[in-house]
Amino acid sequence: MKGLLILALIGLLALIVLCPACRAPAIETEVRDAAVSCALDEGLKAEQVKVSGRDVTLAGFVPSEAVRTTVVGCIEAFPGSRTVVDRLQIMTAGALHILTSYGEISISGVVPSAAARDALIDEAVALWGADAVSDELKADPGRTLGAWSGDSFAAALAALHHSRRDLDIEITNGQVIIGGTVLSELARTRMLGAATTTLPEFEIVDRLTVRQPTDAREVLQADLDNLLNGKVVEFATDSAELTAAGRAVLDQVVAIMKRNPGRIEISGHTDATGAPEHNLELSRQRAESAARYLVSRGIDAGRFETLGHGANRPIDSNATAEGRQANRRTEFHSLKEN
């Protein structure tokens, strides 16, 4: 009997020793799942979390001290964790500097990754052409530009290209500081609207200056802008047919072009309602319809280029009726002579 009791005690001791060892893999998995979940909730990557038993090591970059504190606190609060080794580094603010003119763009500064750098430069080359792009942009994984979105920055570059203005733009610390010169209040409104719409995660700071035109091309642009400030070239609904009101506005464009030399680009724009392919075709047809009307009133067809952008160049939100109305427009841009 005494022998059986001894064997039972030995068995119990074995269970006490062995059970934690049997449970260890399960605990490590639970700790890893909890730690990764904490990291992902704050925008980190799963690869930044390493787990050994009940111990967690965090490494890599985070955008702020607040994010670091939240992630570490979340993991420490999990009952299965034991220690958290914090090797996270705080990103410092990057800076993106963009200078544009009618046919050129210069991009410099520091962005968060090589992929971000390539995305910006590729988009600039696609819009301006390789010979017109000055590239002084560097990548540093320790930098941040806020809620980086390659699609947003691509849309912003497209808006800059379309505006054909002399702009000086600095993006850093959650702000987009837009400086440089424009020729009208209409140009200022459209530029700021495009920035607000394409980069909604940033605060837009207006440092634009409206200046007087200094040459024939700028006089033509200023006259067109002043005419169209508060007016639209109106078309029948979902059609490229000009209304009487639309023809009346174009008659005033005719007068401007008869007293000013130079060529212009006529671009059509829609809101985001409907299929993108349909909107792109409708915007192209409307630009061509406006050009045909101007030719019918005696303006040389060689003075026009026409483009349709569909809903790809918004200057306001498509979430409201007012924003959609602003996005449905025909723009006229004087072209720089070669």
Confidence label for 172 from pLDDT (cuts 50, 70 and 90)? confident
Q: Is the pLDDT of residue 24 over 70?
A: no
pLDDT of residue 20: 52
| Mean pLDDT in residue range 148-176 | 86
CATH of domain 94-210: 3.40.1520.20
- What topology is assigned to 216-334 in CATH? 60s Ribosomal Protein L30; Chain: A; (3.30.1330)
- Would you place residue 13 in the very low, low, confident or very high pLDDT band (cuts 50, 70, 90)? low
Determine how many CB atoms are found less than 10 A away from the CB of residue 247.
15
What is the DSSP annotation of 129-148?
A: -GGGEEEEEEE-TTEE-SS-
Mean pLDDT of the 189-200 span = 92
Q: Topology of domain 2-90, per CATH?
A: GMP Synthetase; Chain A, domain 3 (3.30.300)
Q: Does 288 score more than 60 pLDDT? A: yes
pTM (whole model) above 0.75:
no
What is the SS3 string spanning 213-253? CCCHHHHHHHHHHHHHCCCCCCECCCCCCECHHHHHHHHHH
3-class DSSP assignment, residue 64: coil
Give the pLDDT confidence score for residue 6 in this predicted structure: 59
Tell me, what's the pLDDT at 233? 95
Q: Please, which residues have CB within 8 angstroms of residue 120's CB and are 6 or more apart in sequence?
A: 96, 107, 111, 137, 150, 153, 154, 157
98 DSSP β-pair partners = 107, 169
Question: Six-digit token pair at 190?
Answer: 């459209």
> How far is the C-alpha of 148 from the C-alpha of 141, rounded, in Å?
12
Do 283 and 238 contact (CB within 8 A), yes or no?
A: no
The pLDDT tens digits of the residues spanning 28-59 come to: 899 999 999 999 999 888 999 999 999 999 99
- Give the residue-averaged pLDDT of 83-111: 88
Token pair belonging to 139: 């990548």
Mean pLDDT on 276-302:
96
| Mean pLDDT of the region 212-223 | 94
Q: Is the pLDDT of residue 102 over 80?
A: no
pLDDT at position 161 over 90: no
Quote the pLDDT of residue 122. Answer: 94
Q: How does residue 141 score in pLDDT terms, banded at 50, 70 and 90?
A: confident
Report d(CA 43, CA 25) in Å as an integer: 27
Greatest mean pLDDT range, 50-64, 160-174, 177-191:
177-191
- Residue 267 in this model has a pLDDT that exceeds 70: yes
| Residues 118-137 pLDDT 10s | 999 999 999 999 999 999 99
Q: For the chain, which residues make up each domain, given as ranges?
A: 2-90, 94-210, 216-334
Domain 2-90 matches domain 216-334 at the CATH topology level: no
Tell me: pLDDT of 145 over 60.
Answer: yes
